[in-house]
Structure 1
Amino acid sequence: MKKLTFVILMLFAGYHAWCQDPHFSQYYATTSYLSPSLAGSSGEPRMSLNYRNQWPGIGTVYETMLASYDMYLDDYNSGLGFMVLKDRAGSTDLAQTNFSVQYSYRLQMNSKWQVIPGLQAAYCQNSIDFSKFEFADALLNDYVSNTSARTSELYMNGLQNKNYFDFGASAFLYSNDMWLGVTVDHISQPNQSFANQESKLPMKIVTFGGMNVWKTADRNRGPVRSIDANFRYMHQGGFDQIDLGAYIYNTSLDFGVWLRAVPNFSDEISARLNRDAIVFILKYKIDGLQIGYSYDITISNLSSHAYGSHEVSLTYELSNIGLFKKLGKNPVACFPKGSDGRYSTRVRKRTRF
């Protein structure tokens, strides 16, 4: 009987346990998800679609989909963005759906640096299919009275969805050759328990940045090749992750490589890194359309079972469509301005973000 009680308690504990947010390897292709400050950062009305299939070796049970639209409001020095995120994890269809609105404001500090604060508000719904659970009292039927309701029946009664509001804030510091951003998600730490208990979603802190280490320019076309070194560090609850890598930008083809690792700050060896994956990214650009593909090569102990992760991104700048031609003129600067003091059309489309 003690064993049965322990199993049931462990199962109940899982209903209000917290978990980490989904993540994308192509995080510069998911700017709306990375930071509210990057809403409108391309200077063009922009629509993006992203799909991630994580660890296909254990089945199609970890999928994340993202759809976003953002634009720059030149008259107000502001960016506006909208985002829908759908994440599915595990064989019990544990799912998360978020609808977000983002706002950013451009502050020019001097001729070189600008700072961009950002805000985000989201309406979220978590759901789970309890009919796919196997509970201890069903597996060990001999120990349970037939007059008592089974655990599965108790949890099938209106506890399959959890709705809440969520908020985030960010800041982004930028120059032509260096940038640094900080994003804080889940500021309100909403309760996400399905069992009417307290299970606060822990705040997520993301720090990202980089610098240009080499570039070459064409007098007529603007910069056409460059190499950037980048990093991203994420902390949520007791989980930490760091990404280190570089991007090679070309006129129509970009290439990136990353190392993803999990720092273990509790270890006696200070800041020891547990290697998780090597990520290769390829992106093709033509007439405002960007198509990206990345593959995570798992190098942890899961490598023989997970078979890596696939990710696809599509981004389209809508300025080629008549209705959107007059929207957006002043992106996050990536390269020097033209002789007229503004960014030329060709240079504007060479933004990193």
Structure 2
Amino acid sequence: MPPTRFLRCLLLRRSPRRAGRTGKLWVALAGLGAVAAPAARAQDVYYSQPYATRLHLNPAFTGLLDDASVTLTYRNQYPTLIGALQTTQLAADYRLASQRSAVGLLINADRGGGLSLTRLEAGFTYAYHARLSPQLYVSGGARASYGSQRISYGNLLFGDQLADDGQQLGPTAEPLVYDPVHYLSLGLGGLVYTSNAWVGLALDHANQPVVGVADDAVLPFRLALHGGYKHYFVKTTVKRQYREVSVAPTAAYSYQGGSQRLELGVYGTITPLTAGLVWRGAVPGPGATQQTLVALLGLTGNGFRLGYSYDVSLSQFSRETGGAHEITLSLTKFDLIEAAKRRLRRKNYAAPPCPVF
């Protein structure tokens, strides 16, 4: 099917009456989309709580913050649009008895768009932890994932389904066949940290798997650089109760498929609450207009973490689409007494000072 016809069908959706009033606009948009389509590339979801979804950010985080944890994340992006982008993630990690290794599980499910695009990706992570000096630690990780992507034409309305008066006729004669595409994705990551600072680098989709029917429909590699510094005003553990008062400025840079993104944020923690404010936008340059301000609030309890964030868009297009909501819930296990024993035996690997949301 020609690209212009396909995009026109996508834009018409289920509203033939509106299509009649705005037909010229749809044709213009369809023509523009047809020109841009050959250069299109798939991209990953960017989470607003990167350290709550840290296995997605960098596999080197596997097993570093907790002895064991399970995290469920839900993100609803552009909620005012028909076909909003919705992402659900399940992540789990477990630190092995040696304390030097950890394994993790990461499952992502994406759904949205006019074609009900669905992508399911599941994989495993592994990380190895080492101490370079009494105050310097390093972790290296790897991830291997298997994914499946497909689209559905069930909610589209084609031209041969419309009568002259705009009434809907029977089924379309268009061949609507799109079998799921399966792919393998590989990634690597590294992290260096002290008790107050951290810096990490991750390369995901290193093999650039094909995720569509066209040969150039690849999932380009994602390069992510992230780091920060935490200043503690209070950091104590009394009667197995940890208390922290701190502030942590953070920065991150990512590159994927020609798109560059910069993040600058600051997190404040007064146990059990964490609040953060993060600016996210395209790297300054021609056409760099997409900017977002993320406000987040997190609550940490005995064995759980609950976080919520909202993306406040600073560009006109994004404001009209409703921003994004993101919720995370983590169940965690960390034994302070056992950690103290490991510290005495010099077998304890301190956690990086990064935020937990």
What's the secondary structure of 1:132's corresponding residue?
coil
2:124: which partner in 1? 101
1:334: which partner in 2? none
What's the secondary structure of 2:316's corresponding residue?
coil
Unaligned runs of 5+ in 1: 142-148, 320-324, 332-336
Compared CA separation, residues 13 and 296, structure 1 to 2 (3 A): closer
**Aligned Cα root-mean-square deviation (Å):** 3.4
Structure 2 CA distance, aligned partners of 1:131 and 1:275? 31
Q: For 2:279, which of 259, 284, 296 is the aligned residue?
A: 259
Percent of paired sites with the same residue: 24
**Are the counterparts in 1 of residues 191 and 198 from structure 2 also a CA contact under 8 Å?**
yes
**Are the counterparts in 2 of residues 43 and 329 from structure 1 also a CA contact under 8 Å?**
no
Matches within 5 A, 1:137-156: 152-153=174-175, 156=176
Compared CA separation, residues 13 and 254, structure 1 to 2 (3 A): closer
1:170 equivalent in alignment to 2:202 = no
2:210: which partner in 1? 191
Q: Any idea what the Cα deviations from partners look like across 1:27-75, whole Å, max 9, x if unmatched?
A: 1110111111011112321000000011112145211100011011131
Compared CA separation, residues 74 and 5, structure 1 to 2 (3 A): closer
Unaligned runs of 5+ in 2: 7-32, 165-171
**Are the counterparts in 1 of residues 107 and 122 from structure 2 also a CA contact under 8 Å?**
yes
TM-score, length of structure 1 as denominator length: 0.80
Structure 2 CA distance, aligned partners of 1:255 and 1:47? 22
1:204 equivalent in alignment to 2:222 = yes
Structure 2 CA distance, aligned partners of 1:57 and 1:5? 29
Structure 2 CA distance, aligned partners of 1:296 and 1:243? 13
1:241: which partner in 2? 261
Matches within 5 A, 1:317-332: 317-318=332-333
Letter matched to residue 297 of structure 1 = V
Structure 1 CA distance, aligned partners of 2:54 and 2:61? 6
Q: For 2:248, which of 222, 228, 232 is the aligned residue?
A: 228
1:84 equivalent in alignment to 2:107 = yes
1:160 equivalent in alignment to 2:179 = yes
Q: Any idea what the Cα deviations from partners look like across 1:97-140, whole Å, max 9, x if unmatched?
A: 10010000012111111111110000000010033345678789
Structure 2 CA distance, aligned partners of 1:238 and 1:134? 33
Aligned length: 320
**Are the counterparts in 1 of residues 194 and 352 from structure 2 also a CA contact under 8 Å?**
no
Compared CA separation, residues 312 and 60, structure 1 to 2 (3 A): farther
**Are the counterparts in 1 of residues 197 and 353 from structure 2 also a CA contact under 8 Å?**
no
**Are the counterparts in 2 of residues 104 and 118 from structure 1 also a CA contact under 8 Å?**
yes
Compared CA separation, residues 13 and 278, structure 1 to 2 (3 A): closer
Moved more, 71-80 or 43-52: 71-80
Q: Any idea what the Cα deviations from partners look like across 1:215-263, whole Å, max 9, x if unmatched?
A: 3234635551111010121110121111111111121111111111111
Compared CA separation, residues 109 and 350, structure 1 to 2 (3 A): closer
2:134: which partner in 1? 111
